[in-house]
Amino acid sequence: MVDARGLSCPMPVLLVQREVKKNHPDSLEVMVDNMTAVGNITRFAASQHYEVKTEEVDGEFRMTLSK
């Protein structure tokens, strides 16, 4: 689980990139709190062949990346 809430660009996608490169997880949960981060992570995840599901919870976003 990557908690990138409150972090400014490009930290959220950078944390996800770091986790993907290090552990190559089949699925990864990411918490962010703005749509810019959702967009950045979605584009990065697609480039790494992950599928992304995003659900909004109380103004925050729970993203699930899976292969």
Partner 1 sequence: MDTAKKGFQGFLQRNWLVIVTGLVTGAAAVILSALGNPPNMGFCIACFERDISGALRFHGAAPVQYFRPEIVGIVLGAVGMAFIKKEWKPQGGSSPFTRFMLGMLVMIGALVFLGCPLRMVIRIGGGDVNALIGLVGFIVGIVIGTFPLRFGFSLNRAYRQNAAEGLFFPILLAVLFVLSFIPNLFAKSTEGPGSMQAYWYAALLIAIVVGALCQRSRLCMAGGVRDAVMFKDFHLVYGFLAIIAAVVVGNLIRGTFKFGMEGQPIAHTESLYNFLGMVVVGWGSVLLGGCPLRQLVLAGEGNSDSAVTVFGFIAGAAVSHNFGLASSGTGIGAGPVLWVLIAGFVILALISVLNIKRRA
Among 6, 1, 23, which residue's Cα sits nearest to residue 60?
6
Ramachandran assignment for 21, one of left (phi > 0), alpha (psi -120 to 50 degrees), beta (any other): alpha
Site for partner 1 in 13-32 (CB under 8 A): 13-14, 17
Return the residue of 24, 29, 36, 51 that touches partner 1, per CB under 8 A: 36
Q: Which residue among 19, 33, 54, 62 contacts partner 1 (CB under 8 A)?
A: 33
Residue 14 CB neighbour total at 10 angstroms = 14
Smallest gap from Cβ 6 to partner 1, in A, equals 3
Q: If you ran DSSP here, which 8-state letter would residue 8 be given?
A: P
Which residue ranges make up the site for partner 1 (CB under 8 A)? 5-11, 13-14, 17, 33-36, 39-40, 43-44, 47, 59
